[in-house]
Structures are given as C-alpha cells and as structure tokens.
Structure 1
C-alpha cells in the first residue's frame, strides 16, 4: 500500500449554532476539527489507508485537539508541528437571516509551516502527495513551503494530487492570485478535483462543459469536477463522462468533497506505484463511483469527523 502525504492547514471551525444570528449577536458556538487536508487525511485513515498529515498548529488545547483527533483516526502526526510561537488557526462562521455567511478568519500557526520543518517529509521517492489547502495560497511561510514541496514532489517522482478548496470569504480580494497559483498546480499534478464553482472561476468559462474542455487543455492530469447532486464529471485523456451521485437523505454536506478525495486517493494507494499512471478510463470510472459513495455516506451525518467515523472501504461493495 502506498503512503499518502497530505499537506496544508489544520484549524478549528467555530460554528455559531444560533440560527440567523451574526457573529456579533451569536452566543453559542460548536467547536469542530477542520481544514480540508485534515479532513482528507482522516477519511483516508478511516477507509484503512496509510496516511500522514503535515500541518502546523498552536501548542494549545485546540492544537492538541487537532493532533489527538488525527491520532484517533490512525493518521501519522509526526509532521503536525505544535508551536508555542503562534496560536491555532480559527474560522468563525454563522449563517445570517439573509442566508449569507458571517465569517471571521483568525489565522495563526497554519500559515507558519516552514521548509525546515518539512525537509525530510518527501524522503521516500515513491508514494502519493496531496495538496489540498484552502489557506496555502495566502501570503505566508506556508505558501512558500507549499510551492517548494510541489517542486520536490515532481523531482522525486511522487504521484501528485491537488484540490484548490476555494473559499470566497478568504480570497474575495485575491482571486487572481488564487487562480494563478491553482493553474500552476493543475499543470504539474497527476490528478486534481475541483468543484463546479472552482472550475468556472479558474477557467473563466461560462459553463462547466466549457470549463472542463479548458482544463483538459491546460493539464495532462486526470481530473474530476464535482457537481453536487448532479454527479461527478470525470475527464481522462480528453474523454469525459458524468458519473451519477448516490441518492441519500442529506443531513450535512460538510466534508463530502474531502471524503470524495480521500476515497479516491485511498483506492490509488492500494495499487502498485508503477500502475498509477497506467490506469484505464474504466478503472477511473469505478474509482469515482466508489468515491461518490464515500461523499454520499458523509452527507448522512452531522459534521465531517463524525461522518468519517462511519466510513470504511466496505461501502465500495454495497
């Protein structure tokens, strides 16, 4: 089984449970382990994969929560750096009466992951590395580390996976920087996943079909565009097909995209490394169908980490 290395942010989501309240007016908050690569790592481990997470947290109760949660799932936390210099990153969010999100991002330790702290991370030369950070394209040490690790992964022949995880409330005034950096990663990875919103944003195209064609011209990678209940568009060597979603009674969609990515990477990790770039269109279709099952399963529980407790690779056989 191939080891999967996830790189990016680990943070705490503070979700206001007072319906329709702004963050100023809200009084009750639910504390949740978060961060897209953190979710992906947990999903991979829940499915039975071998995975490590490289991220930086504060040496505080919230950072310890993040590390211990990952350890409980079976994620290798050797490269989860706990620092006394910065606090753990927080994202505060509430849903206002008009349906808009009220959002405050208190960035701390996640942005300070340095090259020195990851210098022996990609020592293997074979394996899968996943870049899935929502914050790594923001200015800071993590940005430099992220791009340097991409170059190292290319040089050492890793199988490279990418998910940009666009957050409008983080990048509203930095969209062009986000787009430019996303294209750079797309051009150098072997697999990437984008949402329909991200596909339109990055490509500048008016429709998902046109965005898919544009992306296939920019990259040699196999890629997926998730379409919610409409399914998942799979593009492989200019061939495209939409694979249907799995109908479920949706409780919460948080973490569904990360479960999808985790399930797909887990399946890749079960194959010999030499086969990863020799898969056929039919192989990818089956893996995407299975990944859709993982995403659907996640939607039937409240909260990503709670949902991942119920994930296992047995869902692929149902």
Structure 2
C-alpha cells in the first residue's frame, strides 16, 4: 500500500514581490500581486500525490468565496472529497506572502477554518488509516488535532512524520507518537531550546529529543541540502544543483515527497534524495502548488525512482 494521509491546513496565498523584505516598522513597495492555492497541508498532500502516492487530505475549509474556489481546486487536482470538511461558520484560511528576488520570503497566516480542524474530523476518517501507510502532519492546525492524528496513525502501525512548522513546543506524547521529525534549521534550534550553534554537533544537541520517541530528525537546510540525525549517526544530503527563485512551498514539497517515498517503500537514503530533488525543483519555480514538480522530473534530478530500495543496508 502506498497511501499517505496528510492532516493539515489549506489556504489561499496572496503573494507580493518586493525588492527587499521589510524590517520592523519599514514600508516597502510591492509589485505583481498573485493569488496561489496553498497551506502546508494542501501543499504537502498535492506534492505526495504528484509523486504517485494514494493521498487523503484531512482538512477543514470555509464555504466563503476563497474557500469554495480552494475546495473545488483540491478535488479537481485529484484529492478525495472524503477528507475535506466544509465549514459554514468560519472563513477559509489566507496567507500573505512577501517574496524578494533571491527567493527568500516572509509569511503571515490567518488560519480561519484551519484553526477549527478537530480530532473528531480526524476520527471521522479512521477507516483510511491502515498498517504500512504514512501519516504526515504540521502545526498550522490545532496541536491537539495533530496529536490525535499522530496517535491514531501510530496505533494503526503507520509511519508518522511531523513537520513542526510553524514551531510550537512539542509535548512528550506528540514526540512519542512521531517516527520522523522534519524541522528546518531554525526549528531544530527551537527543539533543542539552546542558544548554542547546534549544527556543530547536532547529534549531541538533539539526543534528548530522540530519546523521547522519534527514530530520526531530518533537518532541511535550504541550499545546503538536508541533515539526517539518528541516535547513532548523522548524514548530510547535498542539495540538488538548481537555482532558487522562490522558496515558498519548497519545504512542503520536500515533506510530501518524503512521505510518498516512504509509502512507496524507498530506503531512507533514496527517500531523502527524492525529497531534496522535489524541494529544489519547487524552489526553482514561482508559486507553491503551481510549482510542485512531477514524479518524472523528481526522479530524473534525484537519479533514483520512487520505490527504489538502494543497495546494502540503509544506515540508521
């Protein structure tokens, strides 16, 4: 079974290009206002879908103008309607994004209906949870909903992935139900609650987190690739040689492709190569969901296929 269940947010993104990101109190002139479909949950679900996985997105979407367009788009993209709850009481989520020429960005999210996705919404889709599948969630939804999804998936012998973004302190119960954590570098520092440069010895700094449950922590490093940290070792995965023009959605593409690769039965080394290629290709194209690459393009850049086991023992 190559099923991926994504529990998370779905938004409409309003993106503006600026010459420089504003500092505190500064006003900058923008150009090229563009509307994109986004939200970390929806982005990751569609990324996994494009990688050939059987995907269910569990989300709550308002029925206002933005929400109707968003729900229709997700269904037209191939996601089952079964996981998408219509919310008549709260507006759909919106994200306001500033992007500078180098691709760096600032994002403000107004969660709307995403903030009302509940554990009951997750339990309503319990029939989709099955051994061998992968659960992927993030923190643009209530923490108790993410926790309920992780715990249900764990009880069903699924692999669980938590992308701790935007960062919030994680409880022991959430960490115990998480197999793989995928923070970026800033989130990894927050996980350690340390002012030190944890990248000098990430295995040591992250050991207390790994002791609470996760089997591994994958730190995404942007143009520097990714770092896999386990209790025994750490492994750097170089970035794919692609020029970034817009990093919006690149982390989501990484996570979605990683989940899809795990669902396809890839070795972790090959899964990370595929995930890195997905993130790089997304960063090379403006937009979020519009920029998500195809399975074929990811496999060409990564040099491996989804389902590849690799050679020899996957180092843990």
Partner of 1:218: 209
Which range is displaced more, 48-57 or 64-73? 64-73
Shift of 1:223: 2.1
Structure 1 residue ranges without an equivalent (≥5):
137-141, 168-177, 272-278
Any conservation in 1 of the 2:51–2:294 contact (CA below 8 Å)? no
CA RMSD of aligned residues (A): 2.8
| Distance in 2, Cα, partners of 1:212 & 1:13 | 36
* SS at 1:13 equivalent: strand
| Residue 45, structure 1, aligned to residue 29, structure 2 | no
Q: Does 1:208 align with 2:199?
A: yes
CA distance in 1, matches of 2:31, 2:274: 40
Which of the numbers 85, 94, 110 marks the counterpart of 1:90? 94
Q: For residues 196 and 70 of structure 1, do their structure 2 counterparts lie closer, same or farther at Cα, with a shift above 3 Å needed?
A: same
Mapping of 1:223-242 within 5 angstroms?
223-242=217-236
Q: Structure 1 residue 255: deviation in Å? A: 1.1
**Selected match of 2:178 from 189, 193, 207:** 189
- In structure 1, the partner of 2:111 is 107
Specify whether residues 93 and 314 from structure 1 end up closer, same or farther in structure 2 by C-alpha distance, changes over 3 A only.
Answer: closer
- State the match for 2:285 in structure 1: 301
Query: Are the counterparts in 1 of residues 18 and 28 from structure 2 also a CA contact under 8 Å?
Result: no
Alignment CA distance shift 1:229-1:309 (3 Å): closer
Determine if the alignment matches structure 1 residue 268 to structure 2 residue 262.
yes
1:188-223: CA deviation from partner (whole Å, max 9, x where unpaired): 211121101111111023222444433233224122
Quick one: distance in 1 between partners of 2:109 and 2:279? 26
Q: Which runs of 5+ in 2 are unaligned?
A: 305-316
Q: Distance in 2 between matches of 1:239 and 1:58?
A: 45
Contact 1:252 1:303 in 2 (8 A): yes
Calculate the TM-score normalised by the size of structure 1: 0.80
The alignment of Structure 1 onto Structure 2 pairs a total of residues equal to 289
1:130 equivalent to 2:159? Answer no
